[in-house]
């Protein structure tokens, strides 16, 4: 039988060990703070089976609080209390910032981010146990190895929390989930708990910005750089300058921005932010398939990238020159139309259709690499979701916007596919199944392609590989100049026009 321990005494040991703001003299004060949160009348009564890590102890205390009817048993209430408890082992924002920059200047940028990332995982702000539930694999394609993720990390909406949120008055604070005001925010039924959230402040070309990690990270050390002012996303010259400054501050990370227009942008267009991290995406490794020179910029190497989307790569050692060149590419694209490719720069009322998704990094030679992915957010009667958006025949796999992460070759697919693809496998094996109607055409194509080859041993792998090929098609749909002889000739026509401006 597992040993019983006193949860509060055990958790107190971690608080005093991990958070230098507290000392042993603070024990009585802290145990009473904890009792107030979990609902115990006597600290001696708060016991459970052995739990020896702070996150496990915090969750055992949450279970105790539910048993005491201190909180209701729904995901939102659990998350709010867990974050409150783990806030005790998290240093104050001022201490986190001071320690981060002390490490940064005395050791290295990577040592500083290592400290901050470990802090963010140790206090369960970055949900590593949830992230581990995601299904991840790679698929070899003509464009390199694309990465596939079926996103199971974010918990499903709890019906109790949905019902409670429906009764709540509309809230305007914080203005969005990227605002600096989230640091230490309690949370509510329709808004995530942030008591244990910390943001590192830094100067970005004269403006105060914040640096944090993503709670449900999609890749290694997935981080967010956010403006401390709540203002909409925009792509311009300053964007390129900001991305290069971030690279200078954190040279071991890449940094990129979602586009600033709906359909081709990300899901958070209301707040200026960039994303980064310690991952090398397939697009960043993809080779140049057409190199070209621009006389105005002799020190910059240019080329189009062998990638399903339309990418212009700039490489060089001087940030200012790269910023100037990138701005010219952006300006040229914003005003460019080509009816033969269904490319139109402006709507009839003057609304712009064109922007770029920029990604900055350092390549293996130590040079700066800036990939500019051309985007067009038009719709049409044939493609009401977007001409350069996943078309309807692939939306059974992916119908959401193609943002920064997916542009680079990492698919973030919905949790529904976990069960739906199993039914596809049963269908292919001619077993009783409940295949979704929108998968049936694709499944019939797979049955014909693999006729006589499908077995219980290989069907899962085959379906996974074919999902990867659908994702490659998704990216091809989002490409403005198609990977055809005609499309690539049109791409080079744009490059010529860009250089003539």
80-120 pLDDT tens trace: 999 999 999 999 999 999 999 999 999 999 999 999 999 99
Using the structure block, give the residue that is written with the tokens 């703070």.
33
Mean confidence (pLDDT) of the chain: 94
Rounded Cα–Cα distance for residues 14 and 105 (Å)? 28
Residue 362's pLDDT is what? 94
Instruction: Give the C-alpha distances (Å, rounded to integers) separating 176 from 32, 115, 156, 180, 315.
Output: 33, 27, 20, 9, 35
pLDDT (average), residues 416-429: 97
115-129 as b/e: b if 16+ CB within 10 A = bbbebbbbbbbbbee
For Cα atoms 180, 182, 187, give the angle at the middle one, nearest 5 degrees: 170
Residue 343's pLDDT is what? 98
Structure confidence at residue 167 as a pLDDT band (50, 70, 90): low
Residue 417's pLDDT is what? 97
Structure confidence at residue 380 as a pLDDT band (50, 70, 90): very high
Rounded Cα–Cα distance for residues 269 and 329 (Å)? 22
Sign of CA dihedral 195, 166, 228, 409: positive
* Closest by Cα among 157, 155, 212 to 182: 212
Q: How many CB atoms lie within 10 A of CB 205?
A: 11
- pTM listed for this prediction: 0.94
pLDDT (average), residues 442-469: 97
Q: Is 2's pLDDT higher than 70? A: no
Rounded Cα–Cα distance for residues 273 and 239 (Å)? 10
Hey, is 84 helix, strand or coil? Answer: helix
Residue 142's pLDDT is what? 94
pLDDT (average), residues 172-177: 94
Q: What percent of the chain has pLDDT over 90?
A: 90
Residue 162's pLDDT is what? 47
Where along the chain do its domains lie? 4-87, 412-478
pLDDT (average), residues 66-92: 96
Rounded Cα–Cα distance for residues 112 and 283 (Å)? 27
pLDDT (average), residues 343-350: 96
In this predicted model, what pLDDT tens digit does every residue of 313-331 receive, in sequence order?
999 999 999 999 999 999 9
Structure confidence at residue 466 as a pLDDT band (50, 70, 90): very high
- The structure tokens listed for 274 are 């960039």
């Amino acid at each position: 039988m597992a040993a019983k321990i006193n949860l509060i005494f055990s958790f107190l040991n971690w608080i005093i060990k991990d958070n230098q703001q507290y000392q042993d003299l603070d024990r009585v004060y802290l145990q009473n703070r904890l009792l107030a949160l979990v609902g115990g009348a006597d600290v001696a009564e708060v016991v459970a089976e052995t739990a020896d890590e702070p996150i496990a102890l915090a969750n055992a205390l949450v279970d105790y609080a539910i048993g005491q009817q201190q909180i209701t048993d729904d995901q939102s209430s659990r998350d709010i209390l867990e974050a409150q408890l783990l806030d005790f082992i998290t240093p104050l924002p001022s201490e986190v910032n001071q320690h981060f920059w002390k490490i940064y200047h005395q050791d290295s940028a990577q040592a500083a981010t290592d400290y901050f990332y470990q802090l963010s995982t140790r206090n369960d702000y970055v949900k590593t146990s949830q992230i581990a539930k995601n299904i991840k694999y790679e698929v070899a394609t003509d464009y390199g190895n694309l990465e596939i993720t079926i996103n199971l990390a974010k918990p499903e909406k709890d019906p109790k929390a949905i019902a409670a949120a429906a009764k709540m008055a509309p809230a305007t604070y914080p203005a969005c989930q990227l605002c600096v005001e989230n640091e230490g925010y309690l949370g509510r039924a329709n808004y995530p708990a942030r008591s244990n959230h910390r943001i590192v402040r830094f100067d970005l070309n004269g403006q105060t910005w914040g640096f944090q990690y993503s709670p449900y990270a999609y890749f290694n050390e997935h981080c967010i750089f956010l403006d401390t002012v709540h203002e909409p996303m925009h792509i311009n010259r300053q964007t390129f300058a900001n991305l290069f400054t971030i690279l200078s501050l954190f040279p071991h990370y890449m940094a990129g921005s979602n586009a600033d227009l709906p359909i081709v942008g990300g899901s958070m267009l209301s707040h200026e932010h960039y994303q980064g991290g310690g991952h090398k995406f397939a697009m960043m490794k993809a080779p140049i398939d057409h190199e070209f020179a621009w006389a105005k910029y002799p020190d910059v190497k240019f080329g189009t990238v062998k990638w399903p989307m339309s990418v212009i790569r700039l490489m060089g050692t001087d940030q200012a020159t790269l910023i100037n060149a990138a701005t010219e590419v952006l300006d040229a694209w914003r005003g460019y139309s080509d009816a033969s490719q269904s490319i139109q720069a402006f709507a009839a009322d003057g609304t712009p259709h064109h922007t770029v998704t920029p990604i900055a990094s350092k390549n293996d030679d130590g040079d700066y690499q800036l990939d500019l992915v051309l985007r067009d957010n038009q719709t049409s009667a044939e493609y009401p979701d977007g001409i350069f958006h996943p078309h309807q025949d692939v939306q059974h796999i992916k119908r959401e916007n193609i943002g920064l992460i997916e542009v680079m070759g990492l698919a973030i697919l919905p949790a529904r596919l976990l069960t739906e693809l199993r039914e596809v496998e049963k269908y292919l094996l001619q077993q009783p199944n409940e295949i979704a109607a929108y998968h049936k055409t694709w499944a019939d194509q797979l049955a014909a392609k693999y006729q006589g080859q499908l077995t219980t041993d290989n069907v899962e792998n085959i379906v996974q590989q074919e999902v990867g090929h659908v994702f490659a098609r998704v990216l091809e749909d989002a490409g403005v100049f198609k990977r055809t002889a005609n499309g690539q000739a049109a791409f080079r026509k744009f490059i010529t026009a860009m250089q003539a401006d």
